[in-house]
């Protein structure tokens, strides 16, 4: 594991890079949030660069994009539960499901 992603052993001495942005639809600070050394993973080969000898991989491409169908699932004014993921001077970001974050503007926060 590295800060930027993980190298995945594809067998027969071939490795591919699973970039941190391709691990999950959710933002990760470090690959260790989802992966550990020696862990078996299912990935999709997204790019093969034979000149540079590099293979790019993705885990997130194997699951549907979380924003697909979001308008049918949530409506304006609907009350939902979530987890605060970070706080900014202008409000708080809340995850309501994997890959789906919303902003509560500071003007909408109660004291």
User: Which two three-digit tokens encode residue 67?
Assistant: 């924003």
* Strands 14-19 and 5-11, bridge-based pairing: antiparallel
Q: What's the whole-model pTM score?
A: 0.74
- Report the alpha-carbon distance of residue 33 to residue 12 in Å, rounded: 28
Closest CA to 23 of 49, 57, 46, 67: 57
Same domain, 81 and 55: no
Q: Provide the CATH number for the domain around residue 57.
A: 2.40.50.140
List the domain range (segments joined by +) for residue 25: 5-62
Cβ(35)–Cβ(7) below 8 Å: no
User: What digits encode the pLDDT tens for the residues 28-53?
Assistant: 999 999 999 999 999 999 999 999 99
């Amino acid at each position: 594991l590295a800060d930027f992603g993980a190298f995945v052993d594809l067998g027969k001495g071939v490795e591919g890079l699973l970039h941190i942005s391709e691990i999950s639809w959710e933002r990760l600070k470090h690959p260790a949030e989802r992966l550990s050394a020696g862990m078996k993973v299912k990935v999709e080969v997204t790019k093969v660069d034979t000149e540079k000898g590099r293979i790019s991989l993705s885990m997130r491409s194997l699951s549907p994009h979380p924003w697909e169908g979001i308008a049918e699932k949530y409506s304006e004014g609907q009350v939902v539960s979530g987890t605060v993921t970070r706080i900014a001077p202008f409000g708080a970001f809340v995850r309501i499901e994997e890959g789906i974050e919303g902003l509560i503007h500071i003007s909408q926060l109660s004291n």
